Amino acid sequence: MSAPKRAVVIGGEMVAHGVRRVRLRMLEPDRMGHRAGQYIVLHARSGDGTVVKRAYSLASAPGEDPEFSLCVRRIPERPASGFVHSVATGTEVTFSGSWGKFVVDDRERNLVLVCTGTGMSPIGAILEDEIVRPGTRRIHLLWGLRQESDIHGAHRLEALAAAHPRFSYTIALSRATDAWPGFRGRVTDLLAAEAGLDRLFYLAGNGAMIADAEEILAAAGIPAEAVRKEVFFTPGQVRVPLGERQARQANRQRAGTVVAGVALHAGTPAEDVRAALTAALTAADLSLSAVRNLAAGAKASDELGLRAAAEALGLPVEFYLPAEVEQAPDPTGNKSTCEAVALLSAGRTHLIQTKRKTPAVTVALAAVEGGSPVAK
Ligand SMILES: Cc1cc2nc3c(=O)[nH]c(=O)nc-3n(C[C@H](O)[C@H](O)[C@H](O)COP(=O)(O)OP(=O)(O)OC[C@H]3O[C@@H](n4cnc5c(N)ncnc54)[C@H](O)[C@@H]3O)c2cc1C
């Protein structure tokens, strides 16, 4: 293994709420020699003296080598970001790198740069590197943050946009104050409009944003080859795919006061699903027209019998991930999938019909939140 590289901290400042930019100069070797978009693995010293190794994107273009910057969000009580936030000017640090393939190889296609939070580090480096190259390709940047106090370097973006007509940018704030004159929402809300086959997409930051963006771009016909990504972290919560989230949202607008949760054995034919559903509704003195939608576990999403029955009845099916089912209310103590998915979809904690079994299908019914089921 090669010896760690060494650099010295030459300055640091808070540039936004919770974000510190630290400036360093190479000591050994005397140049970084990186490409825009790459990262280093910093050997950070935590409070108890142990060394933790964390990846940090280089927040400066190769043109600034042998100096470079890191731009780091402080995660409260966590070691590496805490180290970067407290490291003093004159301190020597060690690291390995530069590493990574989040670099621009293609010199032709237009660039769409998409980031959240400190995902701006590699994106800003790519932008600064690209903008000084001769060429006419367009660069559009979408930057997602929570609120105004999270924005850093806006004056630089403004200056670049004023000086280079081929560069434009939009900042999207998800929790802007009333005074914010710009776009409110998520960067992914803007992405479909940017999807074009003449473009390369660079996505950096929060893993949930990147997964949503990939789905949006794939749905718009953008080949995976045109999408590059740098995932900084993946939030701990369960991530439901964007398409499923949108389908669930659309179902909330449908008529109907009841959700039918369905679980079935593999290969169950459509007739058996219909029969089980009809039996459960009859037992609850409800008609089919009361059903807003069906719900099932994600495992059932490739069951053709379920899909065919739903289609014949004109009912959409929502599919819930195992981790969602795990967290669902369990009023009967059965840990039953059909009951859990009915409650999740209906937004309720109690059932109007606990699970009814036929040999291959179980069905449970939950009243939709805000609605009351009407007996037939
Ligand atoms: C290729 C790459 C480049 C990266 N570049 C940067 C960068 O330029 N700037 C930067 O601030 N971070 C960057 N990170 C994240 C960084 O590596 C660390 O994960 C982060 O600083 C937390 O380290 P820690 O030791 O303080 O906390 P840890 O104990 O490692 O992490 C604590 C928790 O915080 C979560 N987390 C990590 N980053 C964030 C974040 N930004 N917002 C919210 N939660 C987070 C983690 O998922 C984890 O659950 C990058 C990560 C990768 C993989």
Tens of pLDDT along 187-239? Answer: 999 999 999 999 999 999 999 999 999 999 999 999 999 999 999 998 777 78
Tens of pLDDT along 112-130? Answer: 999 999 999 999 999 999 9
Neighbour count for residue 53 (Cβ, 10 Å): 13
Q: Ligand 1 centre and the CA of 73: distance in Å? A: 8
Give the residue-averaged pLDDT of 57-69.
97
**Looking at domain 5-99, which of 3.40.50.2300, 1.20.1630.10, 2.40.30.10, 2.60.40.10 is its CATH number?**
2.40.30.10
Tens of pLDDT along 243-270? Answer: 899 999 999 999 999 999 999 999 999 9
The number of C-alpha atoms within 13 Å of 157 and in the hemisphere containing its C-beta is: 18
Show the tokens assigned to 337: 């999938």
Neighbour count for residue 31 (Cβ, 10 Å): 10
Contact residues for 262 (Cβ-Cβ < 8 A; gap 6+): 273, 276, 277, 294, 295, 296, 300, 306, 317, 338, 341, 361, 362, 363
Domain ranges of the chain: 5-99, 110-236, 245-367
Give the residue-averaged pLDDT of 348-373.
89
Looking at residue 375, what is its pLDDT?
54
Looking at residue 239, what is its pLDDT?
82
Model confidence band, residue 9 (pLDDT cutoffs 50, 70, 90): very high
Helix ranges (DSSP H) in 242-334 = 242-251, 270-283, 304-313, 322-327
**Atom 25 of ligand 1, residue of closest alpha carbon:** 80
**What integer best gives the mean pLDDT of the chain?**
94
**Atom 4 of ligand 1, residue of closest alpha carbon:** 56
Buried b (16+ CB within 10 A) or exposed e, 128-144: bbbbeeeeebbbbbbbb
CATH code, 245-367: 3.30.420.180
Q: Report the chain's C-alpha Rg in angstroms.
A: 26
Looking at residue 132, what is its pLDDT?
95
261/370: higher pLDDT: 261
Topology of the domain covering 110-236: Rossmann fold (3.40.50)
**Atom 35 of ligand 1, residue of closest alpha carbon:** 233
Looking at residue 49, what is its pLDDT?
84
Residues with CB under 6 A from ligand 1: 39, 52, 54-57, 71-73, 75, 78-82, 117-118, 121, 230, 232-233
Reported as type and span, the H/E element at residue 150 is: none
Tens of pLDDT along 332-359? Answer: 888 899 999 999 999 998 999 999 999 9
**Atom 46 of ligand 1, residue of closest alpha carbon:** 233
> Whose CA is closest to 194, among 227, 173, 217?
217
* Site to substitute for ligand 1 among 48, 74, 75, most atoms within 8 A of C-beta: 75
Collapse the DSSP code of 159 into the 3-class scheme (helix H, G, I; strand E, B; otherwise coil) and give the result: helix
Looking at residue 374, what is its pLDDT?
55
Q: Ligand 1 centre and the CA of 288: distance in Å? A: 50
- Residue indicated by tokens 């059965």: 334
d(CA 208, CA 114): 13
Reported as type and span, the H/E element at residue 30 is: none
Residue 373 has pLDDT above 80, yes or no: no
Atom of ligand 1 nearest to the CA of 70: 8
Q: What is the DSSP letter of 74?
A: -
> Whose CA is closest to 315, among 371, 251, 264, 368?
251
Tens of pLDDT along 271-308? Answer: 999 999 999 999 999 999 999 999 999 999 999 999 99
Edge to edge, the sheet with strand 258-264 lists 317-320, 291-297, 258-264, 361-367, 353-357
Residue 369 has pLDDT above 80, yes or no: no
Q: Ligand 1 centre and the CA of 33: distance in Å? A: 24
Report which residue type is found at 188. Answer: T
Residues in the chain: 376
Predicted structure pTM score: 0.81
